[in-house]
C-alpha cells in the first residue's frame, strides 16, 4: 500500500467522529467532576473508591476498557484515569490495571497508524504537537533512542509518540518490547507524584 493510499484511508467521517468524541469526553469529564464534587464523591479517595466499586466485578474490566479508550482516542485526560486507578484500587492493583489498559491501547494505536498513516495521527493531535516532533522521522536509528527516553520520561506526550513510532520502520515487536519494559517505571513515577500532590490538596480542603 502506497503512502498516498494510506493518506486517503482516513475518511472525513472518522476524523469528525474523533474530534467530536474528544470534545464530548472533555465536557463529560468536567460535568462529572462538578457533579461528583457536589455529591461528596470527591471529598476523599475513600469516597471515590466506594463510589466506583459499586460496579462490583464489572469495575476492573470497565476501568481497563476506559484506560484503553483514552489511550487510543483522547476523550478524557490520561492523567485523570491513571490517578483514579490508584485511588480506587490502591497503588499495586491500580498500577496493574493502568498498565494492562495502556499497553493494550498502545498496541491498538500502533496498528491504527500503520493502517491509516499520518492522516490518522493528524486527526487526533494538534498541528503544533505534530509539527514539533515529526522531524524525528528523518533521524533514522536515533528515533529509537529518542523514543525509549521519552517513554521513560513521565511527562512526555507518550500517546502521540507511540503514533509517531508507527510511522517509522520500527517493528511491532520492538515497539511493544519498549512499551512493556518502560511503562511500569513511567506509571509508578507519574502516578505516585500526582497522587501525592492530590493528597495534599484533599488535606487542605478537609482542614477548611
Grouped pLDDT means (10 residues each) for the chain, 208 residues: 43 61 64 70 65 76 87 74 84 92 94 87 80 76 87 83 90 95 89 77 64
Give the pLDDT of residue 111. Answer: 92
Give the pLDDT of residue 44. Answer: 61
Task: Quote the DSSP letter at residue 55.
Answer: G
* Grid coordinates belonging to 20: 467530536
Q: CA torsion sign, 75 to 187 to 146 to 68?
A: negative
For the chain, the 3-state helix, strand and coil shares in percent, each to the nearest 5, are 85, 0, 15
Give the pLDDT of residue 174. Answer: 95
**How far apart are alpha carbons 125 and 63 in whole angstroms?**
24
Give the pLDDT of residue 132. Answer: 82
Counting Cα atoms < 13 Å in the Cβ hemisphere of 66 gives 21
Task: Quote the DSSP letter at residue 76.
Answer: S
Q: CA torsion sign, 172 to 123 to 133 to 66?
A: negative
Give the pLDDT of residue 5. Answer: 40
pTM over 0.85: no
**How far apart are alpha carbons 141 and 128 in whole angstroms?**
24
Q: How many residues does the chain have?
A: 208
Give the pLDDT of residue 54. Answer: 74
* Grid coordinates belonging to 91: 497503588
DSSP string computed for 54-117:
GGGGGHHHHHHHHHHHHHHS-SS-HHHHHHHHHHHH-HHHHHHHHHHHHHHHHHHHHHHHHHH-
Amino acid at each position: 500500500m502506497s503512502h498516498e493510499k494510506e493518506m486517503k484511508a482516513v475518511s472525513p467521517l472518522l476524523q469528525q467522529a474523533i474530534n467530536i468524541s474528544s470534545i464530548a469526553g472533555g465536557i463529560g469529564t468536567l460535568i462529572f467532576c462538578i457533579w461528583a464534587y457536589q455529591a461528596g464523591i470527591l471529598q476523599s479517595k475513600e469516597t471515590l473508591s466506594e463510589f466506583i466499586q459499586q460496579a462490583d466485578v464489572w469495575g476492573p474490566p470497565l476501568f481497563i476498557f476506559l484506560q484503553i479508550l483514552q489511550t487510543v482516542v483522547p476523550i478524557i485526560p490520561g492523567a485523570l484515569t491513571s490517578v483514579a486507578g490508584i485511588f480506587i484500587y490502591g497503588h499495586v492493583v491500580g498500577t496493574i490495571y493502568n498498565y494492562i489498559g495502556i499497553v493494550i491501547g498502545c498496541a491498538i494505536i500502533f496498528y491504527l497508524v500503520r493502517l491509516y498513516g499520518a492522516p490518522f495521527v493528524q486527526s487526533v493531535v494538534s498541528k503544533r504537537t505534530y509539527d514539533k516532533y515529526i522531524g524525528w522521522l528523518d533521524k533514522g536509528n536515533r528515533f529509537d533512542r529518542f523514543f525509549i527516553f521519552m517513554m521513560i520520561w513521565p511527562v512526555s506526550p507518550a500517546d502521540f509518540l507511540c503514533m509517531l513510532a508507527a510511522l517509522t520502520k520500527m517493528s511491532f515487536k520492538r515497539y511493544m518490547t519498549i512499551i512493556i519494559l518502560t511503562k511500569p517505571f513511567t506509571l509508578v513515577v507519574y502516578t505516585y507524584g500526582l497522587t501525592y500532590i492530590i493528597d495534599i490538596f484533599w488535606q487542605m480542603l478537609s482542614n477548611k
